[in-house]
Structure 1
Amino acid sequence: MLYCHQSNRLEILIDRLTDVLRQPLRAALAPELVITPSNGLARWLALRLADRLGVCANLSVQFPATFLWEISRVLLRGMPSISAFERPVLRWRLLELLGELDDTPCLAPLHAWLGDGRDDFRRYQLACRIADCFDQYLVYRPDWIRAWERDAPEHWQAALWQRLTATGAVHRVSVQEQVRAALRAGDFDRNRLPERVAVLGVTTLPPLYLDLLAELAKVIDVHLLLLNPCQEYWGDIRAERDLARLDEEIDPEEAYLVVGNPLLASLGKQGRDFIDLLQNYPRTEWDGFAEPAGNSLLHHLQADILHLRERGSTDWPPLPLRADDRSLQIHACHGPMREVEVLHDQLLALFTADPRLKPSDVVVMAPDIAVYGPLIEAVFDSVPRERRIPFSVADQGVAVENPLIEVFFTLLDLGGGRFDAVQVLDLLEAPALRRRFDLAEEDLIRIRHWVRSAGIRWGIDAETKQHWDLPATAEHTWRTGLDRLLLGYALPGEGRGLYQDILPCDEVEGSAALALGGLESFTEALFGLDARLREQRPLTAWLSVLRTVLEQFFDPREREENELQQVRAALEALGDTAEQAGFGEPLSLAVVKSALREQLNSVASGAGRFLGGGVTCCAMVPMRSIPFAVVCLLGLNDDAYPRPHLPPGFDLMANRFRRGDRARHQDDRYLFLETLLSARQCLYLSYCGQNIRDNVRLPPSVLV
């Protein structure tokens, strides 16, 4: 049975889920299955369930796509653990296909883009973009997929798709048709299905997924816990700009199209379409809407959305604003740093005004946390102890949260590069790398002085300069400079005497020779790496080379070992996806680095820092709007939010929008609405309102 639990408060939905989980399953050791759209929401869910139940254990949390594929494997025999049409696998398959294009007329646009096809990185980038589009078509355009497989191809995308399906591999559209048929026929083992499943926090689901969940609900209990901002029916409301675009022959009143609440009409399109789509399925409904408790401006805004009221109309006149009402704050500042400084001061004022308010009751979000994360750390960590606010920053990405991984990529970037002296010496800032070559932190100052004194600037030797179409001179290269340092230690020349045309550099003496030996070992290992990174080789060979680099250059300790383990796991995942795709073509290092970065970024980053204690600072992520007493949004600039997204020119969905489709700008609009509703005491909005150089006024985001 499909149970739909609706509320405007996530806390009420958690209470409802708790009541469901208190009913024991028939199998005592069977896990409870919960579907959530994000890791952050899953972490918050586990904490809240532990508060209510005393412990949260044996809970299996999955994403919607993963759950539906696992259900398909239960119902159908012989299904692989990962589909050959999953994006990571599909990219390798497309990369191989793009290298084997024939002269079919419809493939001419691909030939024009790829040229002679020698640039494998250009081909890989195109394969990634096409894979992203195909992944969206599988979810939102199953009718296109069926038509492409049935009819003769007229478009290059249809031709590529037919080549992909010629292997007989199954994809979501065909699998879910078989699953629906199996569910209707009862041709499956009921004991292998979960007894119940709960879906929490999703604001939208593709119609394909919703159909399958509704079909599954005929066999097991499916509890859909839906965060609905409005208790009235709001499927017919439209934003004023949408009503203005209607054809002249359409009368909005006759079509029952109204604005209702302007905020809900403008920001809630994505949720409106999903909730309206849900009306087509038989279900048992439970409503748990709650009136916002309070008389502040924020609470009145939330109440107007809840009751679909148009404030300022004849029926609902404007409300007077109290002078002491600080529930909705908008701050215009001179630059991001000033935004963070003002935020810190305003948080201190809120803590002073309400002694019950704790740092853990506050969340700070930004569209680009990579910009604001370092600024938050700089401002919040630099204040005196008595004014310090505990905080944690999540979602900053691999480069910030795992610096040793970035050192590893810097090593790879040196392959075929200039070996600039500054770039090479910066590598020695990493303790794990210094330990491998027996260098101490105090040796770095000495080594930098030696490199300057020996005149080392760039290049391994004369051959490196020749590679850059420059005269093959050995002066100012690493090998010449190291020869001068070694000769100066063995045979001091006092800056005058030459030995075989080499001028000794007398900077090294005594026990400092140990540091020189470590520098020599490090640079020789680095120079040996250069030749290996220039070659093209199959992915399996590259994975072996990169694992060797990890062992050769790093001696990790404790947390550093965890960082390098992420790289090893990503390398293992790359090998698995390429093997499943049957890909064995030689590649350049640029392709491998790009694929490895993509794999590392796809792993949940900073999950331990989210809700890690104190003020939570994180990125604005769709479907992760968790209730907090104080919600702060930074960086709501005109050009930053909604975040710009330019789809590729060949994305066939871009100009053929259908109800239920996801779009980046609609995601951000609905996220802003969810954020407004998740604030319990105060909503804090901040943007750069004046230019820091000439004080010119800058507009905020259109949502502000």
Structure 2
Amino acid sequence: MAAGYLHCSDKVETLLEWFVQVIDKPVTNPLKPILTVVPNWTLSSWLRYQLVARLGVHGNCRFVSPERFVWEIAITLVPELAMDYRYSKGALALAIFKSLPTILNDNRKGVVLPLDLQAASPQLIHQFARVVADLFDQYCIYRPEMIRGWQAESSNWQAELWNKAASNLLGRTPVYLWDTLKTKLESMSGEVEGLPERVICFGVYMLPPIYLELLNALAALTEVHLFVFMPAKKIWEVVTKPFEGNYFTTPPEKIASRIKDQINVQHGFVGSCVELGVEHAALIAYRCGRWVHKERFSEQWPHSLLGEVQRKISEMSTFSGGSHSLVDDSIQIHVCHNRFREIEVLRDHILKWLQEDPDLRLDEIGVFAPDISKYQPYIEALFGEGSDQGGTIPFQIIGGGEGNRSPVIHALEWVLKMLDGRATAGEFIGFLGMEPVRLKFDFSWDDVSTIVQWIIRTNIRWGLDEIHKAQIGFPGHDYNTWRSGLDRLLLGYSVAFNGAFAKIVPGDPIEGDRVELLDKFLAFVNAVAEIIKRAKPEMTVPEWCELVQMVLDRLLVDPDPAGLGIRRIRAAIRQMAEDAEAAQFEDPLPLVNLRETFLLTLSDPYETRVGHPAGVLFGSFKWTHTVPMKIICLIGLNDKEFPRIEEHLTFDLMSKHRQVGDRSVAAEDRYVFLGAILNARQRLYLSYVGKSTP
């Protein structure tokens, strides 16, 4: 039945209970999956695990990101969009890069760019184009009405640049997608063929207004469920009270102001953290005020210091000294002199908790930080294999740095960074030791050790040959190059005397099974050298895509049997090629820009997929909110790092006139922090760096 249902609670377990009931309800076509929108794969993995635990067997729910959800609904209702709409931020960046010189040539009065295009290098101009593309993409989501105004009249340099870039994209921009979809939805009624019978949105703590507008329009055509985690009961009470007039005619700014007035949001710790929840509630009331409401808030809390804090957050009451008589260790705050010490102290406490509670499982402990990549080396050193701190503790890192990526992606990044370098021995040895390379060329670790000794004894330092040295601006001789070192190895295999031959001193004699190893080593060096020589200071996008594909074919094998890393790389290659085609871009780009763009395309945050954690879960705040655990540890709560400092571009028009629903990284950090406190079931552990080493 077409309708909108709003589920609200301060307990994720309550939302989960309702979610399972909705999933378990029969549908007309059991073979058609239920579309579920989630903010990241961490939450989707947790939901899958919970569904299986409660239903026994489950396979009828497909999890997608909000962006993917909009696209699938769009091509379902307007199939022709699948043929002529190929927008992406990468395509927009190329279109902007192509359009910037035309603005300079027009030399119109009043058009002043924040970058001197005549003095800037192509590399800097492309980086500027990427920054502007990110900003314009935000405009499309949060200020579509401004974009529509620009299409009617170019009033400033941003408007003119947008119109020129949009023309390169044939007008196929997100605003075009939204307008086309809105027109189609307004013209439809009754049952629509192809639409999911049931749409669910779970755990997205701040949906942009335009997404809520889409959900509200879909609720007239199909069954839509929105599950909202609301940390404070008082906010929801204000939202659901009778309001003067109609929510649909009252601006969300006025609704948010009313909520803030009644709950005194500016007061105290809770008020500073709950602002994002207030704005989300106002937008929901404005867009989904007529939906069927279902809410349940906790009335009882654990008899502990943590439970008392959670109760005060839910009731929006103030904290004051001596207002409680509970004294326990359910909340701990630690100050350490550096990050390494933070992880040491944390590890000691985890071991203590496991000893005190035999029923406590490692996957019931979550450790979150504003940026977990800053802690990743210390986590691996103290929790991983080889730790001298009392044994290994199984763990999993979500949203970490390069060390947390697929091995084949990490190897690809390594070789791409070698393309415009000096081809040093260290770079080759590091690349040679990577698992995808060893599998491709059938090298064992003993083989790698032997090859390293060959490199050392033949004095290979850097440079492929004399030509390569000259190309990168050094004297053109072959001393200590790969060519001279390989010649010495081959001569050591071919001749049996120690004297020089054709001015080449033979290397150590090579015989027996090492002859086969030499052959594989030569194949490896020649393959890498060919790829480096094919790379040019400037390349077109098709040439770059061909080069990356050559790296995959000649140098790498994915150690993952499922081949997820290779699939992501090939998807990134296709995306770059499609971006260039969509922007009608055929000009060459600097090698460094092509590499940066490709690596950004590879690092799609939503695609970091994980299963149910097999140990302690480490992650950044943005990956792990709304997942309840027995013990939640928040580390890295350092000054100037938490909450993150707002940094706006000087020409960001959104920051000059903020609206309800706009992104705020500081507000997001505070809100996620508040959610983490409420999601801790037994203990809350906080730590930060606050003392310098003597």
Q: What TM-score do the two structures reach when normalised by structure 2? A: 0.88
Residue 301 in structure 1 maps to residue 301 in structure 2 = no
8 Å CA contact retained: 2:460, 2:485: yes
Q: Distance in 1 between matches of 2:444 and 2:364?
A: 43
Equivalent position of 2:340 in the other structure: 337
Displacement of 1:436 after TM fit?
4.1
Query: 2:433 aligned with 1:429, yes or no?
Result: yes
Tell me the distance in 2 between the aligned counterparts of 1:399 and 1:352.
31
Q: Is the 8 A contact 2:632 2:684 kept in 1?
A: yes
Higher alpha-carbon deviation: 288-297 or 401-410: 401-410
1:576 and 2:584 are equivalent in the alignment: no
Identify the residue that residue 98 of structure 1 maps to in structure 2. Answer: 100
1:398/1:405 contact within 8 Å kept: no
Q: Distance in 2 between matches of 1:432 and 1:70?
A: 35
- The equivalent of 1:319 in structure 2 is 324
The answer for the alignment partner of 1:473 in structure 2 is 477
Which letter maps to 2:211? Answer: Y
**CA positional deviation for 1:475:** 2.1
Tell me the SS of whatever aligns to 1:114.
coil
CA distance in 1, matches of 2:623, 2:671: 8
Amino acid at match of 1:485: L
8 A Cα contact 1:627 1:678, kept in partner: yes
- Residue 309 of structure 2 aligns with an amino acid whose one-letter code is L
Which is worse superposed, 261-270 or 554-563? Answer: 554-563
Q: Between 357-366 and 667-676, report the one with greater CA deviation.
A: 357-366
> Percent identical across equivalent pairs?
31
Aligned to 1:215: 217
Superposed, which structure 2 residues align to 1:229-628 within 5 Å?
Answer: 229-233=231-235, 258-259=264-265, 262-280=268-286, 281-312=289-320, 318-322=323-327, 325-381=328-384, 382=386, 388-437=392-441, 439-494=443-498, 497-506=499-508, 508=510, 511-534=513-536, 536-559=538-561, 561-602=563-604, 604-609=606-611, 611-621=612-622, 624-628=625-629
Q: Evaluate the alpha carbon distance shift between residue 525 and residue 34 of structure 1 in structure 2; reply closer, same or farther with a 3 A threshold.
A: closer
1:27 aligns with 2:35: no
Secondary structure, aligned partner of 2:133: helix
CA contact under 8 A between 1:642 and 1:668: conserved in structure 2? yes
The DSSP-based 3-state class of the residue aligned with 1:534 is coil
Secondary structure at the aligned position of 2:626 is classed as: coil
Give secondary structure in 2 for the equivalent of 1:584: coil
Q: TM-score, normalised by structure 1?
A: 0.87
Q: CA deviation at 1:84?
A: 4.1
Does the 8 Å contact 2:460/2:480 carry over to 1? yes
Q: Structure 1 residues 560 and 60, CA, compared in 2 at 3 Å: closer, same or farther? A: closer
Preserved CA contact (<8 Å) 1:261 1:309:
no
Equivalents in 1 of 2:115, 2:320: separation in Å? 57
Task: Give the SS at the match of 2:672.
Answer: helix
Partners of 1:140 and 1:661 within 8 A in 2: yes
Deviations 1:20-52 (A, max 9, x none): 233322334332222222221111112212222
Moved more, 398-407 or 183-192: 183-192
What CA RMSD, in Å, does the superposition of the two structures yield over aligned residues?
Answer: 3.1
- 1:655-666 equivalences under 5 Å are 655-666=656-667
Q: Decide whether the 8 Å contact of 2:260 with 2:266 is kept in 1.
A: no
Shift of 1:397: 4.3
Counterpart amino acid of residue 504 in structure 2: I
CA distance in 1, matches of 2:585, 2:543: 12
Give how far 1:187 is off. 6.2
Deviation at 1:508, TM superposition (A): 4.1
Assess if the C-alpha contact under 8 Å between 1:235 and 1:276 holds in 2.
no
1:257 Cα shift?
Answer: 7.0
- Name the residue aligned to 2:247: none
In the alignment, the residues of structure 1 paired with residue 238 and residue 16 of structure 2 have an alpha-carbon distance, to the nearest angstrom, of: 29
Alpha-carbon separation, structure 2, partners of 1:418 and 1:175? 46
CA distance in 2, matches of 1:636, 1:486: 57
Unaligned runs of at least 5 residues, structure 2: 240-256
Question: What secondary structure is seen at the aligned counterpart in 2 of 1:285?
Answer: strand
Looking at structure 2, the residues matched to 106 and 132 of structure 1 have their Cα atoms a distance apart, in angstroms, of 26
Q: How far off its partner does 1:648 sit?
A: 3.0
Give the match's secondary structure for 1:481: helix
Change over 3 Å in CA distance of 1:282–1:623 after alignment to 2:
farther
Offset, 1:492: 4.8
Partner of 2:228: 226
Q: Measure how far apart 1:15 and its partner are.
A: 0.9
Name the CA distance, whole Å, in 2 between partners of 1:449 and 1:526: 19
Check conservation: 2:630, 2:682, Cα contact below 8 A. yes
**1:77 CA displacement:** 5.3
CA contact 1:261–1:311 (8 Å) conserved in 2: no
1:489-545 CA-partner distances (Å, limit 9, x unpaired): 434553xx4333333334545553433333333223332222201264432232222
Q: Which deviates the most, 502-511 or 646-655?
A: 502-511
Deviation at 1:553, TM superposition (A): 1.8
Letter of the aligned partner of 2:292 in structure 1? Answer: T
What amino acid maps onto 2:655 in structure 1? Answer: A
Contact 2:408 2:557 in 1 (8 A): no
Q: How does 1:165-204 map to 2 (within 5 A)?
A: 165-166=166-167, 168-186=170-188, 190-204=192-206
Of the structure 1 ranges 121-130 and 600-609, higher mean CA displacement relative to structure 2 is found in: 600-609
1:332 is paired with a residue whose SS is strand
Instruction: Supply the distance in 2 between the matched residues of 1:210 and 1:573 (Cα, whole angstroms).
Output: 28
Q: Distance in 2 between matches of 1:107 and 1:188?
A: 51
Q: CA deviation at 1:547?
A: 1.4
- Letter in structure 1 aligned against 2:284: L
Q: Structure 2 counterpart of 1:650, which letter?
A: F
Match of 2:143 in 1: 141
Secondary structure, in 3 states, of the residue corresponding to 2:124?
A: helix
CA contact (8 A) 1:106 1:154 kept: no
Cα pair distance change 1:421/1:655, threshold 3 Å: same
Shift of 1:598: 1.1
Instruction: Tell me the residue number matched to 1:158.
Output: 159
Deviation of residue 557 (structure 1)?
4.7
- Measure how far apart 1:289 and its partner are: 0.7
Q: Secondary structure at the match of 1:190?
A: coil
What is the rounded CA distance, in whole Å, between the counterparts of 2:215 and 2:42 in structure 1?
23
Alpha-carbon deviation of 1:458? 1.5
